[in-house]
Amino acid sequence: MKLTSEAFAYGEEIPLKYGCKGEDISIPLKFEEVPEESASLAIIMEDPDAPTGLFVHWVIYNIPYNIEALPEGVPPAAMLNHTIIQGFNDFDRIGYGGPCPPDRVHRYFIKLFALDIKLDDAPPGYNREQLLEVMDGHIIAEAELMGTYAP
């Protein structure tokens, strides 16, 4: 499985528009080679370089397995298209919260998970830990995209 973006390549700088000093809109993402047995997809975007420890920027789940991409600027709504569900980030908001490092260049990891179950019963608003708990034992593939962002 592969996770890419038209906005930047793995290890490159995330464009300013996707961060808190820009438009603070979600990064466009493309999914490739999703396993046939997948029932849904989930994404967690996190910053391991935050001064307070791991900082979560996006939690989104119950993405249909046959969707090939998420566009730039996913709205900060709890439910999208009556299917896709978004959770809380560490800004205490639903949806995407862009990179906003206070001190130096940080790395931002966007992790894509293919699951063997749908998360239709999961309520909107899960945080990272709640999502990881419900996904436990159901992850059949993972992919990652990492970009950097400077203050």
Taking alpha carbons only, the member of 141, 150, 134, 145 closest to residue 5 is: 145
Per-residue pLDDT tens digits for 32-79: 999 999 999 999 999 999 999 999 999 999 999 999 999 999 999 999
| Fold for the domain defined by 2-140 | Phosphatidylethanolamine-binding Protein (3.90.280)
CB 101 within 8 A of CB 108: no
Cβ burial of 82 (10 Å; 0-12, 13-18, 19+) is: exposed
Could you state, in order of their start, the residue ranges of all structural domains in the chain? 2-140
∠ at Cα 51 (48, 53), nearest 5°? Answer: 45
Average pLDDT of the chain to the nearest whole number: 96
